[in-house]
Amino acid sequence: MSVEHGVFIVLSAITLVGAWIVIANRNLYRAALGMVLSFFGVAGLYALLNVGFLAVVQVLIYVGAISILIIFAIMLTRQVMDREVVQRNSQWFISLLVALVLFGVLGYTLAFRVADQWAVGGSGLPEKPIEALGEALVTTYALPFEVASVLLLVALVGAIVIAREK
């Protein structure tokens, strides 16, 4: 049990506790803050995997933008009896069973059946990972990159038009 194992367990605990707050808390605002905690845990996991760029981008996009959007939406769509509204719908028991069964199947498969089937290692990260990523984005993967920018433009215009006051 090296230090890396310990750090991994702490970060996974933060992630899963945050997710637990999201799905179990009746107060929507606290659920949103639990989601922020979970995003930080995931960013920590990326940092542990030595992919610092994705960790910072995770914080920037998820915590800095998407969480703020969701919090705004919670505040702008408040109902009068917000605290007393039941948050679970009528099919919650079935969905709990489904989620548990899915986790059981996935967990069993991952932990016992296919644990070491992939050739681990490759040849290490490139020396300048950010330059390599930038180069890949504009040479090999230029088409997905351009399509993603068009998608963002469409989403931007669409969101403004939909949410506009008529």
Partner 1 sequence: MDVPLSWYLLVAAALFCMGLYGVLSRRNAVAILMGVELMLNAVNINLVTFWRYVAPEAMAGQVFAVLVYTVAAAEAAVGLALFIAIYRSRDTVVVEDIDLMKG
Partner 2 sequence: MNILDDLFVNIGQWWTNLLSDALSLPDGAVTMINGLIGGLILALLGVVMVLILTYMERKVFSRLQDRIGPNRWGPWGIFQAVADAIKMLIKEDIVPDNADRLLFNLAPVLMVIPAVLLYAVLPFGRRMVGSDLNVGALYVVAIGSLTAIAVMTAGWSSNNKYGLLGAFRVIAQLVSYEIPMVLAMASVVLIAGSMSLVKIVESQPIPNAILMPVSFFIYMAAGMAELGRSPFDLLEADSEIVAGYFIEYSGMKFALFFLAEYINMFAIAGVATTLFLSGWNWPILPTWLWFFIKTFAVVFVFIWARGSWPRFRIDHMLNFAWKFLVPLALVNLMVVALVDKLLADAGMWARAGGLLVSNLVIIAVTLGVVAWAARRSRNAKLQAIAGAR
Query: Taking CB under 8 A as the criterion, which residues in 40-99 touch partner 1?
Result: 42, 45-46, 48-51, 53-54, 57-58, 61-62, 65-66, 69-70, 72-74, 76-77, 79, 85-89, 91-92, 94-96, 98-99
Among 16, 20, 52, 73, binds partner 2 (CB under 8 A): 52
Say how many Å lie between the first and final Cα of the chain, rounded: 61
Rounded to the nearest 10 degrees, what angle do helices 28-48 and 67-76 cross at?
180
In the list partner 1, partner 2, none, the entry touching 68 (Cβ below 5 to 8 angstroms by class) is: partner 2
Q: How far is the CB of 125 from partner 1 (least distance, A)?
A: 5
Shortest distance in whole angstroms from residue 137 CB to partner 1 = 6
Residue closest to 38 by CA, chosen among 73, 13, 4: 13
What CA–CA distances, in Å, run from 110 to 11, 13, 63, 70, 127?
Answer: 20, 19, 29, 33, 31
Residue pair 126/132 in contact by the 8 Å Cβ criterion:
yes
Where on the chain is the footprint of partner 2 (CB under 8 A)? 3, 27, 29-30, 33, 36, 52-53, 56-57, 59-60, 63-65, 67-68, 71-72, 75, 130
